[in-house]
Every structure is written in C-alpha cells, then in structure tokens.
C-alpha cells in the first residue's frame, strides 16, 4: 500500500479520526491474525462475527489503525459502513497509481485458474499483485488494489457477482485497463433468474472500459462475443475458431493435461500445460490474449503457460491411489 497518514485516510473515506495521526504503510486486514506491522484493520460486522471484537488482537499483531463503525479504545476512523469506506480508499489509491495496469477478470468458470496462470507470466517480468484464493467481492477486490505500491506494474482483480450491478461497482473502484470475460454459464442462475441476466451482469466489466481500454472476450458461449458492441476501444477474441485473434489448434490430451499449438498475430508455438483438464485450454488462451496486448512475445507466453502450475489447493490435482 502507498503510505498514508490516518488523517488523509479519514478525509478520503469521510470518517472521523479518533486517536493519533499515525502513518499507515500496509494494506488492510480483515482477519486480525493476518494483520501486519503498520496495517489498517477493518472491523467488519458480519452475520456471525463482529470484527470490533478483534481490534485488540489486530493491534497486537501490528495494526496501527482500525476502520470501525463503533467506537473502540484503539486509534480508529469511525464510519457508518466499513465496507463502503474500504471501497472509497481503494478507489483513491487506484486513481493515484497512474502507472498501474489493472486487469479485471470475470466469468462463470475459470477466474481463479486464469488469474494464477496470468500471475505466473506477468510476475516474471514486473511487480504483480493478485488476490490469494477466491477473493473476488466488494471486500477482496479493494484489498487487492490496496496491496499495490508505486512499484507495482500489474494488478489482477477477480470480479464475482451475486447481484446485477456488483461488477459495475467493483469496476468503479478498480478502474480496469483490460477486461476479460471468460465464459457465461449457468452457475448462479438461481440467483440471477436466467443466463441472459448473468450475461448482462458479466458485461458490466466491458461497459466500464474507456476507449483506451481493451476487451478480451471468449467465444465459448453465444453471449460473450456480443459484448464487443459495448466497447468503443480495442476488442480481442480467444477460442478455437479460425476467426479468433488468439486461438488453439491441434489440441490433444496427454496424461490428463492439454497440449496445443498457440496461434497469435505473431505466429504459432507449442504449449503443454501442467495443469489438468482439457477445459484449461480456454483459460490459457485468455491469459495469452492479455499477455499479447501487454507486449509479451509469443515465446514468452508459450513458455510461461507451459511452466505455470496451479497453487489453488485441491483444484484439478491428480492423486495416484494404491491398487
């Protein structure tokens, strides 16, 4: 996180500072056990747990300031809604990191694997921030942004949604330069009512891009490619059809892992994924599209995809059982 005085943070979030005007140097923590020296603790009041009960523990672990909706003994900024304050702070920090490229990723499946593959490639070239685990909501996305500093070049933000407007809200905070829509599927159809409603919500990422932004769209469902009409800037497609800007050909599976030729405007190169499953080809192509527009060479991309491994525990692992 960029260093900020408590008084500055209070002004940004519209809260009242109680206590010393300390210097905050680390990103917020929502779990007191993860608080670092110089961090802010977010005292979020949930259905089952009240973060205000853990402010003392957070300070014992190194926090120097809390954002709260109740008065506490420690130095704190009092606000009416801690989550809204978090979003305001992240939006402010994002707006001041002018050299930061934010990549937003959404889709019914594949967000976490795509994030991990992309992180592996981007971090080999420059400072990259990406969320750990499935941190893709109104709390996780802002915290990812607040982990960025002036030295951070790339920030990958997963964008999930439970309701229409959720992704638009995250985009207002993250201000993505690149928007990736992987696929619209039936996951959460019960919450949204129809696949069409899911597609409309996912498309909020593309609608949020300005004319200098880049939309990267999968071709694995009938909805995602049509999102190109929502964006006045550059659009790239990925998939297995000859019409795709980034595509895979000669796909085969060996020992559960996909091998294919990656075709980009630069040419063709062989890729052998280390992660399991034929469905990972689409995730790899999305990553290749992002890396291509960021200026990575075809060789860098193919090599990066072929060496990257998933760090998400139990996702698509092969376990050999005794016979």
pLDDT digits (tens, 9 = 90+) for 257-282: 999 999 999 999 999 999 999 999 99
DSSP for 103-139? Answer: EEEE-SS-HHHHHHHHHHHHTTTS-EE--SSS--STT
Chain centre distance of CA 56 = 30
| Domain extent listing, the chain | 4-80, 97-307
Confidence at 132, pLDDT banded by 50, 70, 90? confident
Task: Quote the Cα angle for 152-158-160, to 5°.
Answer: 155
Q: How confident is the model at residue 313 (pLDDT cuts 50, 70, 90)?
A: very low
Summarize pLDDT for 135-170 with one digit per residue, the tens.
789 999 999 999 999 999 999 999 999 999 999 999
Whole-angstrom Cα distance, residue 257 to residue 68?
48
Place of tokens 């506490």: 72
Q: Which residue has the tokens 């672990």?
A: 61
Q: Do domains 4-80 and 97-307 have the same CATH topology?
A: no
Superfamily of domain 97-307: Mur-like, catalytic domain (3.40.1190.10)
Over 80: is that where the pLDDT of 316 sits?
no
- Which fold would CATH assign to domain 4-80? 3.40.1390
- pLDDT score of 187: 72
- Dihedral (CA of 293, 294, 295, 296) sign: negative
In this prediction, residue 188 carries a pLDDT of: 67
pLDDT band at 315 (very low <50, low <70, confident <90, very high): very low
Q: Give pLDDT tens digits for 184-204.
A: 987 767 778 899 999 999 999
């Amino acid at each position: 996180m960029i260093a900020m005085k408590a008084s500055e943070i209070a002004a940004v979030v519209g809260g009242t500072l109680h206590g010393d005007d300390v210097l905050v140097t680390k990103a917020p923590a929502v779990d007191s056990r993860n608080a670092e020296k110089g961090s802010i603790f977010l005292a979020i009041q949930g259905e089952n747990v009240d973060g205000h009960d853990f402010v003392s523990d957070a300070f014992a672990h190194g926090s120097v300031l809390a954002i709260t909706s109740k008065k506490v003994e420690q130095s704190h900024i009092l606000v009416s809604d801690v989550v809204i304050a978090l979003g305001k702070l992240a939006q402010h920090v994002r707006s001041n990191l002018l050299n930061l490229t934010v990549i937003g990723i959404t889709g019914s499946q594949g967000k976490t694997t795509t994030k991990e593959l992309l992180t592996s490639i981007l971090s080999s070239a420059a400072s990259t921030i990406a969320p750990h685990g499935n941190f893709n909501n109104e709390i996780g996305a802002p915290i990812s942004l607040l982990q960025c500093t002036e030295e951070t070049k790339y920030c990958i933000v997963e964008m999930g949604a439970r309701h229409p407007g959720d992704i638009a809200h995250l985009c207002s905070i993250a201000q993505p330069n690149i928007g990736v829509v992987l696929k619209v599927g039936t996951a959460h159809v019960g919450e949204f009512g129809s696949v069409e409603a899911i597609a409309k919500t996912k498309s909020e990422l593309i609608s949020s891009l300005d004319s200098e932004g880049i939309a990267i769209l999968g071709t694995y469902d009938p909805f995602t490619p049509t999102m190109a009409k929502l964006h006045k800037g550059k659009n790239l497609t990925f998939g297995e059809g000859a019409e795709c800007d980034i595509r895979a050909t000669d796909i085969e599976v060996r020992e559960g892992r996909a091998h294919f030729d990656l075709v980009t405007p630069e040419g063709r190169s062989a890729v052998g994924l280390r992660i399991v499953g034929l469905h990972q080809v689409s995730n790899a192509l999305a990553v290749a599209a992002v890396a291509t527009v960021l200026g990575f060479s075809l060789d860098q991309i193919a090599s990066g995809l072929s060496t990257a491994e998933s760090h998400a525990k139990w996702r698509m692992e092969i376990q050999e059982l005794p016979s």
